[in-house]
Amino acid sequence: MNPRAVQMETNENDQDEDEEVESALTKEACSQTDASATVKSMSPPHSVVKNYEREQFLSFLRAIYNRVDDPNARGPPSIETTSVLFETVFYEPTLLCIRTPITPTGHRIATLRDVLFDFRRCFVLYADMMTALPEICALTEADRITIAKNRFAPFYWWLACCWTAKAGCDGVCYSNGSYHPSEVSQKAFPEARNVSRLSVESVSVPLRSLDLTEAEVLIGSIYNIFQEFPRPPNISLESEMIMERGRDKYTRMMINCIPVGEPQSAIRFGTISILQASITSLKYLTSDNIEVSDVLQIVPIDDWTNDIFQARKNCPQGADM
């Protein structure tokens, strides 16, 4: 037998085997690539994920906002002065009042009882939302209370101004169908600096032109809790970082819920953000109103309420809360 012929046959066999192995490896690689492409194609786009997260969060907020207590489970809400502390009502808000339906229609002028009850009902809503937010739950107990004392006023004014914009009433719209008029002669009690008119002109009128959606109002209430800087004093660095991450998260969610195209959404969000300065001013003026009412013995101030406004005084000058 020709040795050269044997060698050539052996080489040809080896080449065939190599080609078979290469073909098998190529098929396997292609199979893996196809599988990867299939998984990738099955994964929802980033915008879909964001929309899903937003809708989940909106459902969560709606459930809290629409929560109503059985009126027969307890007696009628009390508006008498109480010495209960802030920490107590923050975790047990129904000590202040039961959860009544929120009906911000602004169809009648508020009585003093309406004004007082609205403040308490909004605090119950605030406490319900705050104690359910994962970022707030992650704070230390002391930092949680510090933040809670400082963030109620902007939360309150955001909702009140949104309600006023929707209702179209000439004054501050409350959660119970009433409103506090801008007209001095119609007020249930005097104001230190005519806060009602200022709130309408500086915040509610611009919001009315935006015609906010339900999503913008609800997510905006949480955005207002996180968006202000610098943070209140005497909180830990860890809590500071948690609040910063929360601010970034709810800012993105706020932008994502704006129902217009990308360029317009930036302008719309910018308009909403600018209004935060006016809400901050209303927060300070509210403190003045509370002090005046207390001095004149028009509105009895509870200890828990006083804690909210004392928190603003304790902030270093030039620092916002």
Across the chain, the runs of DSSP E, i.e. the strands, are: 103-109, 171-173, 176-181
* pLDDT over 90 at 129, yes or no: yes
Mean pLDDT (the chain) is 77
Mean per-residue pLDDT, 137-144:
96
Helix, strand, coil percent content, the chain, rounded in steps of 5: 70, 5, 25
Sequence letter at residue 123: F
- For 104, residues 6+ apart whose C-beta sits below 8 A from its C-beta are 159, 163, 166, 167, 173, 174, 175, 177
Per DSSP, the three-state class of 81 is coil
Cis peptide before 230 (omega within 30 of 0): yes
Report DSSP state, residue 168. Answer: T
Most confident by average pLDDT, 191-195, 221-225, 230-234, 262-266 = 221-225
Q: How far apart are CA 195 and CA 180, in angstroms?
A: 10
Distance CA 97, CA 284 (A): 25
What's the whole-number mean pLDDT along residues 156-164? 96
Q: Give the tens place of pLDDT for each residue, 31-60.
A: 444 434 433 444 345 566 678 888 999 999
Please say if the pLDDT value at position 318 is more than 50.
Answer: no
CB 180 within 8 A of CB 115: yes
For the cut 50, the answer to whether the pLDDT of residue 296 exceeds it is: no
CA–CA separation, 112 and 55 (whole Å): 38
Q: Which of 210, 90, 214 is nearest to 141 (CA)?
A: 90
pLDDT tier at 115, thresholds 50, 70, 90: confident
Whole-structure pTM value: 0.76
* Residue 158: other Cβ atoms inside 10 A: 24
Q: Which residue shows structure tokens 């719209």?
A: 173
Better-scored residue on pLDDT, 149 or 66: 66
Mean of the pLDDT values across residues 223-242?
82
- Over range 249-258, report the average pLDDT: 91
Model confidence pLDDT, tens digit, residues 178-215: 998 988 777 776 666 778 888 999 999 999 999 999 99
**Can you tell me whether residue 178 is helix, strand or coil?**
strand
More confident residue, 247 or 302: 247
According to the model, what pLDDT value does residue 292 have?
Answer: 37
Of 21-30, 133-142, 156-165, 265-274, the least confident = 21-30
Assign 8 a pLDDT band (cuts: 50, 70, 90). very low
Instruction: State the average pLDDT over residues 127-138.
Output: 97
Confidence check: pLDDT of 301 > 60:
no
- Alpha helices by DSSP H, listed for 100-194, are 112-130, 134-137, 141-167
* CA 217 to each of CA 107, 128, 207: distance values in angstroms, whole numbers, following the listed order: 20, 17, 10
Residue 51 or residue 7, greater confidence: 51
Pairing of strands 171-173, 103-109: unpaired
Q: How confident is the model at residue 227 (pLDDT cuts 50, 70, 90)?
A: confident
pLDDT of residue 196: 85
Helix/strand/coil for 78: coil
Which residue, 104, 101, 52, is CA-closest to 217? Answer: 104
CB atoms closer than 10 angstroms to residue 243? 24
Whole-number pLDDT of residue 128: 98
Band the pLDDT of 319: cuts 50, 70, 90: very low
User: What are the backbone dihedrals phi and psi of residue 155, each rounded to the nearest 5 degrees, phi first?
Assistant: -60, -45
DSSP state of 260: S
How far apart, in whole angstroms, are the C-alpha atoms of residue 184 and residue 198?
13
Does the structure show a pLDDT above 90 at 99?
Answer: yes
Across 161-170, 273-282, 286-295, least confident range: 286-295
- CA within 13 Å, CB half, 146: 17
CA 304 to chain centre: 22
pLDDT at 302: 59
